[in-house]
Amino acid sequence: MHIENKNIFMAYVSKKEVKKGGSSASKHHESGVSAITYSKDEPDLLEFLWKETAKEKLFNRLLGCAYGQALGDAYGLSTEFETRQNVDYNYPDRSKLIPFPDYVLTGHSRRWTRGDWTDDTDQWILILETLTETHNDEPNEVVFAKKLKNWIRNGYPMLGDHGGMGLIVSDK
């Protein structure tokens, strides 16, 4: 949550009044009645939480793109760099989806853990990171180059990578 929104949220929550009195936690759970009361002039908490600012909408859309990129990349690894003939041979029944993550391993796909995405998504993440560190709405190619160099050497260690794959490694 954005710091500005977090501050608004905390200010909103701090305006709530907690009922003082004799109801125990067990009675509260049994009755289903909340211990928090609201002033009539306050907006509903759920309404507040679901309200999106322009930045939040953009963030949600980028997050959706990130998930789509990673999932599509991981699924596409099952046929990446394969000829049409190999794909037809490995998956002869076109009425069925390619089993994921239990696809047929190929010379290319066996270099990744099943279900992992490829260097395409890694580099896409590098681009997004670079854009978030941009000042004056101008992407900085030097920042990207440094990130790329670090990725080549280390990959994403927090994901178990030991170096970026794709720039130097080739099937051919």
Is 113 among the annotated ligand-binding positions?
no
> Do the annotations mark residue 120 as ligand-binding?
yes
CA dist 112 and 161 (Å) reads 10
Q: What are phi and psi of 58, to 5 degrees?
A: -60, -45
Range of weakest confidence among 35-44, 87-96, 99-108 = 35-44
DSSP 138: B
pTM score: 0.62
Q: Is 161 annotated as a binding residue?
A: no
Locate 18 and state its tokens. Answer: 């907690």
> Which whole number is the average pLDDT over 64-92?
95
Higher pLDDT, 59 or 44: 59
| pLDDT given at position 138 | 77
Going from N- to C-terminal start, the domains of the chain cover: 3-50, 54-159
pLDDT digits (tens, 9 = 90+) for 8-21: 444 444 443 333 34
Q: Sign of the C-alpha dihedral, residues 65, 122, 70, 160?
A: negative
CA within 13 Å, CB half, 45: 12
